[in-house]
Structure 1
Amino acid sequence: MSDSTADFLQTTRSSYDAIAKDYAARFPGGPPHPLDRQLISAFAELVTANGPAPVADLGSGPGNVTARLHDLGVPVFGVDISPAMVALAREAHPRLRFHVGSMTSLDLPDGTLGGILALYSTIHVPDDHLPTAFAEFRRTLAPGGHALLGFQSATEPDHLHMAERFGHEIDLDYYWRTPEQVAEALTGAGLERVATVVREPDGEETRARAFVLARRP
């Protein structure tokens, strides 16, 4: 592991450890927008139709979306880089499985996942590490398995660094990408694009939301 990789993982981990409780209190449920919820339901239908293989919720945070997938009949588990987030998820959803890990190096065998969900987690992966993450998606997905990514959409690539959130000192980078940029990176990793959905900002949102659905051939 390179020093730059270690730095990226460590700063993301420590930042979310610092804000975990406040983040969970600020976002107590799953996605509030009905379109987002319907896309998650469609993803659940796709992965369960393809067989009983488990599904990984990467960047599972407090575990609310993991629990929603479970309620939809998906054999799901959560992975998050923050031990504090994993602890909160285990406390809130004791029936479900959560563990600490990074999407750039998944501790999972090849071809064993029926699906991957990554909502607002790839936004913290630097551009030069995104191909590594998506290569891990392809490696761990079974043939026919789907990946659904959700992220704040940009009309052109942009970057934001935050040093404070919820009153806590953090060191967190956000990478805003276009839907086409994400889709091209997924196809470059050997996945097929199935669909792209973009909705305009709603309520307090300041950026459009994009969802890219891909599958392993």
Structure 2
Amino acid sequence: MCNILQVRWTISPKTSPQPWIACSGCGCQRPFRSSGKVRLNANGKRLDAWLVYKCINCDKTWNRTLFERRTVQDLSPSTLEALQHSDPDWVRAQEFDLDGLKRNAKRVEEPPDATIWKEMVQEARHWGLLEIEISVEFPVNLRLDRLLASELAISRSRLQALKDGAKLKAHPDRSDFLRHRPKDGMRITLDLSEVVDRQAIGEAATNRERG
């Protein structure tokens, strides 16, 4: 008989990374947020593209270069369509290009707020093991122990005690996994077979949405 309760958590950052840029309106470094809008400029047969950001304090704009002097033939039809219409999904991928952002700004702020969507993968009546599969499309600035403590409604010290007792494991494994960010494809297993509040933890693990 299977004794595993399996769930999948899909974690999505609410706020995209914010580069700190010298703002001409404020006269100092300020965090800028993406407007979600792409600006295109055609020069003959070549294109320049920018993602427009705004100062969170005064709304002064900053154009983040996506590319320069690219020919239309260099771009796929889907990319060109996305650029022309500021496709939200395509723009979101650019917003989370941390390497690209760090080429423009020495400091990039990553807000820790996120939405967690929970779905049941396998339900067992008399389960003792809880397995959580993590799905992360974009990097989220949130430690795994804080995530688990919040979403399972248990303390971080209790999580550490479970780990120390080999009742909490991660795959792929590393000794300090609780102090790092959740990774896409990671699986967390908790042996709760001897825990009196097992059902309450299981209910917290399978709630549809919190955030």
Query: Under a length normalisation based on structure 2, what TM-score does the superposition of the two structures give?
Result: 0.22
Q: Which has the higher contact order (CA 8 A, sep 6+)?
A: 2
Larger Rg belongs to: 2
Query: Under a length normalisation based on structure 1, what TM-score does the superposition of the two structures give?
Result: 0.22
Which structure features the higher share of helix residues? 1
Which structure features the higher share of strand residues? 2
